[in-house]
Structure 1
């Protein structure tokens, strides 16, 4: 790609701009927001004066800070920074903040994240960018995972808020992972070679007897290509039971297995663990926060006419937050509902049947 076609400071919603003196006033007002402070830092929450904000501390910490301005209206909405840069190790830490509550959840943060990662890996020639996110800041954690970050570990009970202890999650992204995620080239080869025991996003891959949850993405996708050069795709699904023992099903509007009732789920993104994928998909599709109880089985969907071949890993899960509602109206799924295990609607998606049968067996044994 020619650099003439790549404007490094310009995204689809925001741009990276030089901080201005008046921005310090806005940053200071942001710190009047208790939630903003609680998500941004693990330190004691206290409003800051304009003199205590700004980029001077970032520059002292060997870093680069940008103001975030909207393309529409040129409004100052926050900041992003790469700091604590170790040039010898080609590593840095990342910070990003959207100040006003009304500006959150509108894609500004994700667009800014795309820009600052590109700046770090292309302009600064970094190999690793890391950050920390507090356990309860789930929106930020999902955004980082979607951008290609991986969880590396947790500092247990490192943050005390309102009488509750929370983990501090360490995450990072390497240049080669960002390149694969973004499709943009690198000018160097990373020396990192993934090993079978490497941590993946969402935790360690574990081998447990004959359970197939231990299968890595590379193992699942190693089926040889056929003459049509269509490779199997990797999916996840969740059998979600409520307190009445009913299972959540969704009507499929699209292929694969169009016009059937199925358990919610979806595809695994590059560099995303299976468990992270199923938790993300359920939140994005039906607005539920889930916890995984156990692996159920794997399932295959093979439809040569539609050029569809899916290998899916199915989990037994429980709801820990949210209320079920269709977040994809007019999209892949239509009506959703809770159904007794002994009175399921038809037709059922072939993909869902093995998981539902496995849960029925477990439920009857209990």
Structure 2
């Protein structure tokens, strides 16, 4: 039987390419952006010449750096790297950056993150990928958490910016966690026991906590079990929002992972303990697509049952309207690959089962179908 091959260099939106001299020129221009440098690392912010950028330092540091190029027009948009690789421990550090602000929030970063993680765990046979992020870089933290990274700890007051100290957050993901999340195989068996039972920190807990929490497990980063042994699956309660604009277009998101992976769905998520359903849907929409919404009415309920994925969701779907914000993907690198507005009478496919009852109810409101 022929082996199954993955194209580790190409995703759905970007590809990993070898750095070239022209990329150094572009990367140098990125460093003229003060905000870009302030999020990139903890070093002194200073513009770099083309000779000071590039992959030479990464390769001297026992690593691999790639340029990120769009599939659509082969345009250079940033870089990603696995560096400080310890082959004896099978561990590495991750760096990733999208240089131009206009290229952010379009799914390029999430696609690149998925590619470099797959390259690290499949091609390099790593067991651990780690990174650090400054606590004020909330967009990056959300992306890493949604991609399955877990918070390990923080270096208190490690970064001084404009007279204020900020913590440096340490995060990592293990090969077994990544494999269970993506359902892609590994070429080795981890010697670490009970990975799926380890406590993790979800986004809601992270944003509310003043320090690192070590309790609870959120749906965003919880690995999916591949067997039913020692597992008691209980129905989970979720919410979803059908958001329609003045042009009768509905906002849909592309699901990068289970439940209902690789489908178009409405934005939404789970209800936290002691949280009302209406509060949950307003919070989830703000966290996922940057919109402030008001609820018009409860449309219907939806039930998603997937025994093979050990998923059972009962969801409340709401008709909502926008009262503030501009739609933007805040889960880049995580569950949402991209977002888009689609005419109610010309919806894309495949649609998530979760979304269909709500979309049908809204179409009846507008078209009387």
Aligning the two structures, in what range does the TM-score lie when normalised by the shorter sequence?
Answer: 0.5 to 0.7
Please name the residue that 2:270 is paired with: 267
Distance verdict in 2 for CA 1:64–1:309, change over 3 Å = closer
Shift of 1:287: 3.0
Consecutive unaligned residues in structure 2, runs of 5 or more: 207-211, 245-266, 272-280, 294-300, 316-322, 329-339, 348-354, 360-369
Q: Deviations over 1:38-60 (max 9, x none)?
A: 11011110001111101010011
Please name the residue that 1:204 is paired with: 213
C-alpha contact 1:265 1:282 (8 A) present in aligned 2: no
Shift of 1:5: 4.8
Consecutive unaligned residues in structure 1, runs of 5 or more: 207-213, 238-248, 254-263, 269-276, 290-300, 313-321, 335-366
Shift of 1:323: 4.6
Residues in 1 aligned to 2:7 and 2:305: alpha-carbon distance in whole angstroms: 42
> Residues 126-205 of structure 1: matches in 2 within 5 Å?
126-194=126-194, 198-201=199-202, 202=206, 203-205=212-214
Distance verdict in 2 for CA 1:324–1:15, change over 3 Å = closer
Shift of 1:65: 0.4
Distance verdict in 2 for CA 1:304–1:11, change over 3 Å = closer
The aligned length equals 273
CA-atom RMSD in angstroms: 4.2
Q: Deviations over 1:139-178 (max 9, x none)?
A: 1111111211111111122212222222211111100111
Distance verdict in 2 for CA 1:134–1:232, change over 3 Å = same
> Residues 1-366 of structure 1: matches in 2 within 5 Å?
5-194=5-194, 198-201=199-202, 202=206, 203-206=212-215, 231-235=233-237, 266-267=269-270, 282-284=286-288, 287=291, 310=313, 323=324
C-alpha contact 1:142 1:280 (8 A) present in aligned 2: no
- Structure showing greater radius of gyration is 1
Shift of 1:73: 1.1
C-alpha contact 1:197 1:205 (8 A) present in aligned 2: no
Q: Give the TM-score of the pair, scaled to structure 2.
A: 0.62
Shift of 1:8: 1.2
Q: Deviations over 1:271-312 (max 9, x none)?
A: xxxxxx9966651266369xxxxxxxxxxx997999995489
Q: Give the TM-score of the pair, scaled to structure 1.
A: 0.63
For residue 21 of structure 2, give the secondary structure of its aligned residue in structure 1: coil
Q: Which runs of 4+ in 1 moved over 4 A?
A: 1-5, 214-217, 249-253, 277-282, 301-312, 322-334
Q: Deviations over 1:16-47 (max 9, x none)?
A: 01111121111111100111101101111000
C-alpha contact 1:18 1:67 (8 A) present in aligned 2: yes
Residues in 1 aligned to 2:10 and 2:155: alpha-carbon distance in whole angstroms: 35
Please name the residue that 1:339 is paired with: none
